Amino acid sequence: MTNATTVLANARLILPDRVLRGALTLADGRIAAITPGEAVPAGAIDCAGDHLAPGLIELHTDNLERHIQPRPGVDWPHATAILAHDGELASVGITTVFDALRVGSIRSDNPAYAPYALPLANEINAMSRAGATRISHVLHLRVEICSETLIAEMEAFGPDHGVRLVSLMDHTPGQRQFRDLSRLKEYEQGKYGTSDARFDAQVARLIALGARVGAAHEAAAIGFARRLGAVIASHDDTTPAQVDRSAALGARLAEFPTTREAAEACRAKGILTILGGPNLIRGGSHSGNVAAEDLARAGLLDIVSSDYIPSSLLLSAWRLAEIWGDVPRAVATVTATPARATGLDDRGRLAPGLRADVIRIAEVGGTPRLRGVWSAGRQVG
């Protein structure tokens, strides 16, 4: 074998429709062959019955922001933060990440809440082009409808930035995720120590801002996504009426529907649902929304996102395999389905000709443990 070829043998290959004992040959960044059987050719890596799955695909994570701003008011050097984020994701089996960057700020309320997406996107793209990253990075813009600077920030992005996903985020208090103001107040006071008076004033300002700019910002965001050919996602749909609106706007994905009624409406409209891995692993939502496990058991969960805990993505696939009794179906929620939904037809499955994004998984007491990660055929973890 040459340096460009790797054979992973005697493994349980998680294929789209079955689990097959066999070997996977990786050559020149692609999957070259799938060979059934337990044979271990000379020079091959003996996987000793471990699972091989496609590299995980993460559509929505705030993980990079945690590295950029590890403490309030701390702006960490971006190159170092991007590399730390990239390495962390590789270490948990994620080989394609949609880095979710916020577009739309409210400077009058908090001068520190400033635009940041464009320069950070440029840095991510430059580092990827230079080969400095271990995994594949794709841009996901979280457009904040209730903001002051959205249109100006969006207009700075063009086709060369590679924006593939645009999610419509409306955090106006009193609706969607923040429909229960008492829970929003608990969050704000717990995280920022906000006083009652300041919270009340903040809610009033945001409701007024949303009423003033919401319709114009929504229309501008849809036009922006269509110009760039990006997939449109809704966020925190709570009612069937909101799902109807999302469908009318062309949304193909629904990030974190907060109720079963919304998830059922998504299914009726052909919109794929994305639920959070932390919700699934913890057994419920930390903010009082519908439990991801309940939607999974009802057949209303299509894609899992690790959201704020990268390691939850692989754990979620294993948990879904327990719930459904179907390993390929479970693994598809973090590989094939997110790839297909965003037009990444070159990855997400173990099949000849596709990118050699592969993870090797052992089980320890029923818990998945990564033993190897390959991104485009190069071992990165």
Domain boundaries, the chain: 1-54+349-381, 56-346
Residue 356 vs residues 1, 41, 160: alpha-carbon distances, Å: 16, 19, 25
One of 3.30.1280.10, 1.10.3720.10, 3.20.20.140, 3.40.50.300 is the CATH number of 56-346, namely: 3.20.20.140
Q: Would you tell me how many other CB atoms lie within 10 Å of the CB of residue 303?
A: 25
What does the H/E/C string look like for 197-213? HHHHHHHHHHHHHHHHH
Q: Do domains 1-54+349-381 and 56-346 have the same CATH topology?
A: no
Cite the DSSP H helix spans in the chain.
Answer: 63-68, 78-91, 117-129, 150-155, 181-192, 196-228, 240-248, 260-269, 277-282, 292-297, 312-324, 327-332, 336-341
Give the list of residues 6+ apart from residue 152 with CB closer than 8 angstroms, or none. none
Say whether pTM exceeds 0.85: yes
Classify domain 1-54+349-381 by CATH number.
2.30.40.10
Render each residue's pLDDT in the chain as its tens digit; 381 residues. 445 799 999 999 999 999 999 999 999 999 999 999 999 999 999 999 999 999 999 999 989 989 998 887 788 999 999 999 999 999 999 999 999 999 998 866 665 567 899 999 999 999 999 999 999 999 999 999 988 899 999 999 999 999 999 999 987 665 766 666 666 666 666 666 677 777 777 777 777 777 788 899 999 999 999 999 999 999 999 999 999 999 999 999 999 999 999 999 999 999 999 999 999 999 988 777 899 999 999 999 999 999 999 999 999 999 999 999 999 999 999 999 999 999 999 999 999 999 999 999 999 988 999 999 999 999 999
Model pLDDT for residues 302-329, shown as the tens digit of each residue: 999 999 999 999 999 999 999 999 999 9
